[in-house]
Amino acid sequence: MMLIQTAKREPRVPAHPSWRGLMEQSACEVFSRMIGTEVTPISEVVVPDIGDVIAMVGMAGALCAVFRVRCSSEAALSIAAKMLGGESDPEHIPDAVGEVCNMVAGNFKAKIDGLAGGCMLSTPTVVIGHHEKVYSPASTEHLFAMVDYDGKPVWLGLEIST
């Protein structure tokens, strides 16, 4: 008899309206602790056409989702410079924003019961340029948030496969 072993399926954790606040809180903590800058949530979230640097981290397990961080090149360059203690080089932009996205996503899931240990993160992917379109084959629920980083908006998005 052949035994087929399948991966343990984590129970799905449904999205909750409080998650937007947790996304903001996660971003605030990452910027404060790792970048040395206090960011503040922006209550009115606009369409995410605010910049040309987009980092994405996949989440799989109890939550199937894509966590995105988006900002302008100017903001990204400033973030990279602060992460490196003042050194400013556009070459560091993808790595810096990718790592910020990874940390915000990780910090976000750590705040939610059932997600901390029940959801894995992918390594980040970074896209640079305008006019990108992202298509998801699954039906998707969206949560958006924004924070103000030194007068520059940083957009956060969570696209959940339902």
Partner 1 sequence: MKQLRVLVIDDSSIMRKMIARCLKLAGVEIGELIEAGDGREALDAVRKHKLDLILSDINMPEMDGLQFLQGLKDIQAAQGTPVVMITTEGTESRVIEALSAGAKAYIRKPFTSDEVKERIMPLVENLA
Q: Does 29 bind partner 1 (CB under 8 A)?
A: yes
Taking the CB of residue 39, how many other CB atoms lie within 10 A of it?
A: 21
The answer for residues whose C-beta is within 8 angstroms of residue 7's C-beta and 6 or more apart is none
As measured in angstroms, the least distance from the Cβ of 95 to partner 1 is: 4
Is 121 a binding residue for partner 1 by CB under 8 A? The answer is yes
DSSP label at residue 90: G
Q: Which of 14, 21, 33, 162 binds partner 1 (CB under 8 A)?
A: 33
- Map the footprint of partner 1 across residues 76-115, applying CB under 8 A: 80, 83-85, 92, 95-96, 98-99, 102-103, 105-107, 110
- Alpha-carbon gap, residue 121 to 105, rounded angstroms: 8
For the chain, give the number of residues: 162
In angstroms, what is the minimal distance from the CB of 29 to partner 1? 6
Q: According to the binding rule CB under 8 A, does residue 123 interact with partner 1?
A: yes
Tell me which of 117, 134, 136, 138 binds partner 1, using CB under 8 A.
117
24 binds partner 1 (CB under 8 A): no
Q: Least distance (Å) from partner 1 to the CB of residue 79? A: 10
Positions of E strands within the chain: 40-42, 53-61, 65-71, 119-121, 125-128, 140-149, 152-161
Residue nearer to partner 1 on the CB measure, 49 or 74: 74
Nearer to partner 1, 15 or 34 (CB): 34
105 Rama class: left (phi>0) / alpha (psi -120 to 50) / beta: alpha
CA nearest neighbour of 101 among 150, 137, 51, 138: 51
Query: Where along the sequence are the contacts to partner 1 (CB under 8 A)?
Result: 29-30, 32-34, 80, 83-85, 92, 95-96, 98-99, 102-103, 105-107, 110, 116-117, 121, 123
